[in-house]
């Protein structure tokens, strides 16, 4: 059976590519909906027209069977899925593709690959779903040969412990792959980042992905029971434990390490039975600040809503989810027992803060999730239609929340043309703060999209740092967030992390440039 191929640029698989005429129609409609005026809907480069620099490295005979260097393979591993990445791939610009893409079938393969890289001085870049939006998988190391290690063959649920509700899963399993295998046991991980369809468990752990739950267990971190990684100095595997107070958590150093300490190969994760009861509701607010006050009350209530997404009026209007000028809160509860009680208390809290509940939807959260997961497909059309479409996100304590959102929004808007839209939603909330998620939609400066976005990103990131937020709540650091990450992390921690990396990766081959300098 022929392997289903991922699209060379954009989201999803080749067989999902809409016909050019349909993209053109949708692109024109999108521009009109956004009020950007007409513009040419361009077509992407033909895969056949790809011209890549010759690979600078040839695998040894012992590894040849799991390595590929054809143009499709190299180009489709050259970027993640940021706007910058889509634009470059769309135009066929692949300045620094990996020289070799390796597909290990087991840990022995992986160990041999790392040995080969260390011997030849090549960089080794772990590649899960390739959905990084921060340059995390991009071989931006021009003076070094690069072997990208694609983990997609390691996609199995290896073991299920129904008593402890935990499963041992290989790092290369995508969201659908692992959920499908868990389903046979009546279990689910319930971790749905927007990249769910393509991203992998290993990628989630390496980048501290944000998932399904708006409160309580917001990051994949909270579901990890133990992790196993292969470092150039050997295996790094923690004991399977529900909790431990024995020294600093070994897992927490690997979680978020973005491939610089080791290649994650598998993990025991906490799974659960699908919730028997779910309820969700929509609540309208006069504005984002009022909604924010209600969300803060919810976050401090110990009610632990599973969903608690607050859309500002701009974002609610874009999707016709709320009347013009109103903010919208989507609130949901789920659990093994009826959730009418907490929902009623949650809605009371909303009313206390001026909220107007609109609907009780029971099962309609599935529809919401589907729309959420389809957004990346839509973005491909926007790129073709000359629309700059990108997101960035942060987290900040409640005392700074309103100022933070205002200043970040204003400084981002100031770097954009007047028609541009900068909208905000809260994706995850905490007793002590929230995670604002910004979406930018703007007419693109054709052929200068990268420069345009870099200016916007710099303005937004400077504003985030100045207003006391983190440079990322769940998109990770990669290469793109380095200046602001370097500024926000404790200096002594940077020294400790650099030393830790040198201890396990003495040749410095793993994902150079990510998190710390080589």
CB of 339 to a copy of itself, least distance (A): 10
Which residue, 456 or 476, is less far from a copy of itself as judged by CB?
476
Contact 68, 101 (CB under 8 A): yes
Residues 24-30: contacts with CB under 8 Å, at least 24 apart: 24/384, 26/381, 26/385, 27/381, 27/382, 27/384, 27/385, 27/387, 28/385, 30/378, 30/381, 30/382, 30/385, 30/387
Contact 100, 466 (CB under 8 A): no
CB of 185 to a copy of itself, least distance (A): 14
Q: How far apart are CA 124 and CA 15, in angstroms?
A: 30
Measured on CA atoms in the order 181, 184, 187, 191, is the torsion positive or negative? positive
Residue 441 has which token pair? 């939609």
Contact 328, 284 (CB under 8 A): yes
Which residue, 54 or 337, is less far from a copy of itself as judged by CB?
337
Which residue, 29 or 344, is less far from a copy of itself as judged by CB?
344
Q: How far apart are CA 410 and CA 337, in angstroms?
A: 44
Which residue, 73 or 258, is less far from a copy of itself as judged by CB?
258
Contact 396, 296 (CB under 8 A): no
Residue 424 has which token pair? 């905000």
CB of 65 to a copy of itself, least distance (A): 28
List the one residue out of 355, 354, 302, 312 whose CA is nearest residue 333: 302
Phi, psi of 242 (to 5 degrees): -70, -25
Which residue, 212 or 481, is less far from a copy of itself as judged by CB?
481
Which residue, 46 or 163, is less far from a copy of itself as judged by CB?
163
CB of 274 to a copy of itself, least distance (A): 12
CB of 302 to a copy of itself, least distance (A): 5
Cα→Cα distances 18→31, 129, 317, 419, 514, Å? 18, 21, 26, 28, 34
Residue 101 has which token pair? 């893409």
DSSP H helices in 320-448: 340-352, 365-384, 401-414
Which residue, 41 or 255, is less far from a copy of itself as judged by CB?
255
Which residue, 62 or 164, is less far from a copy of itself as judged by CB?
164
Pairing of strands 157-161, 146-150: unpaired
Tell me how far the alpha carbon of residue 90 is from its chain's centroid.
21
| Residue that has been written with the tokens 């998109």 in this structure | 475
CB of 475 to a copy of itself, least distance (A): 7
CB of 40 to a copy of itself, least distance (A): 37
Exposed (0-12), middle (13-18) or buried (19+): which is 448, by Cβ within 10 Å? exposed
Pairing of strands 157-161, 166-170: antiparallel
**Three-state secondary structure of 43-67:** CCCCHHHCCCCCCCCCCCHHHHCCE
The residues near 35 (Cβ < 8 Å, ≥ 6 apart) are 419
Which residue, 9 or 401, is less far from a copy of itself as judged by CB?
401
CB of 44 to a copy of itself, least distance (A): 31
CB of 434 to a copy of itself, least distance (A): 7
List the one residue out of 157, 10, 21 whose CA is nearest residue 82: 10
CB of 413 to a copy of itself, least distance (A): 24
Which residue, 90 or 401, is less far from a copy of itself as judged by CB?
401
CB of 319 to a copy of itself, least distance (A): 25
Which residue, 52 or 182, is less far from a copy of itself as judged by CB?
182
């Amino acid at each position: 059976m022929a392997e289903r191929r991922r699209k060379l640029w954009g989201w999803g698989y080749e067989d999902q590519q809409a016909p050019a005429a349909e993209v053109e129609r949708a692109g024109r409609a999108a521009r009109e909906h956004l009020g950007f005026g007409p513009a040419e809907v361009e077509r992407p480069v033909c895969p056949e027209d790809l011209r890549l620099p010759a690979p600078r490295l040839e695998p040894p005979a012992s590894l040849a069977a799991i390595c590929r260097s054809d143009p499709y393979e190299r180009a489709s591993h050259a970027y993640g899925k940021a706007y910058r990445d889509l634009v470059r791939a769309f135009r066929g610009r692949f300045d620094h593709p990996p020289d070799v893409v390796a597909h290990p079938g087991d840990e022995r393969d992986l160990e041999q690959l790392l040995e080969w890289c260390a011997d030849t001085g090549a960089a080794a870049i772990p590649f899960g779903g390739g959905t990084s939006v921060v340059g995390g998988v991009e071989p931006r190391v021009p003076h070094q040969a690069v072997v990208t290690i694609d983990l997609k063959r390691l996609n199995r649920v290896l073991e299920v412990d129904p008593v402890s509700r935990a499963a041992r899963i290989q790092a290369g399993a995508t969201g659908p792959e692992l959920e499908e295998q868990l389903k046979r046991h009546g279990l689910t991980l319930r971790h749905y980042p927007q990249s769910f369809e393509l991203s992998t468990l290993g990628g989630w752990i390496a980048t501290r992905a944000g998932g399904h739950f708006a409160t309580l267990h917001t990051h994949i971190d909270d579901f990890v029971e133990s992790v196993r990684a292969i470092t150039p100095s050997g295996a790094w595997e923690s004991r399977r434990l529900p909790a431990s107070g024995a020294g600093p958590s070994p897992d927490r150093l690997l979680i978020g390490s973005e491939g610089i300490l080791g290649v994650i190969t598998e993990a025991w994760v906490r799974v659960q039975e699908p919730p028997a009861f779910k309820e969700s509701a929509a609540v309208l607010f006069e504005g984002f600040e009022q909604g924010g006050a209600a969300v803060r009350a919810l976050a401090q209530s110990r009610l632990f809503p599973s969903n608690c997404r607050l859309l500002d009026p701009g974002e609610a209007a874009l999707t016709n989810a709320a009347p013009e000028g109103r903010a919208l809160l989507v609130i949901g509860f789920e659990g093994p027992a009826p959730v009418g009680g907490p929902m009623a208390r949650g809605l009371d809290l909303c009313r206390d803060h001026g909220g107007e509940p609109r609907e009780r939807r029971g099962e309609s959260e599935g529809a919401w999730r589907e729309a959420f997961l389809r957004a990346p497909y839509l973005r491909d059309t926007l790129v073709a239609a000359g629309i700059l479409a990108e997101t960035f996100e942060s987290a900040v304590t409640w005392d700074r929340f309103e100022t933070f959102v205002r200043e970040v929004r204003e400084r981002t808007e100031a770097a954009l043309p007047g028609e541009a839209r900068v909208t905000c939603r809260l994706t995850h909330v905490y007793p002590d703060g929230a995670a604002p998620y910004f979406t930018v939609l703007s007419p693109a400066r054709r052929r200068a999209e990268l420069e345009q976005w870099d200016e916007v990103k710099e303005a937004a990131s400077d504003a985030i740092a100045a207003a006391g937020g983190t440079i990322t709540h769940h998109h990770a650091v990669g290469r793109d967030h380095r200046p602001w990450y370097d500024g926000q992390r404790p200096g002594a921690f940077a020294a400790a992390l650099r030393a830790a990396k040198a201890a396990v990766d003495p040749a410095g081959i793993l994902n150079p440039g990510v998190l710390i300098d080589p």
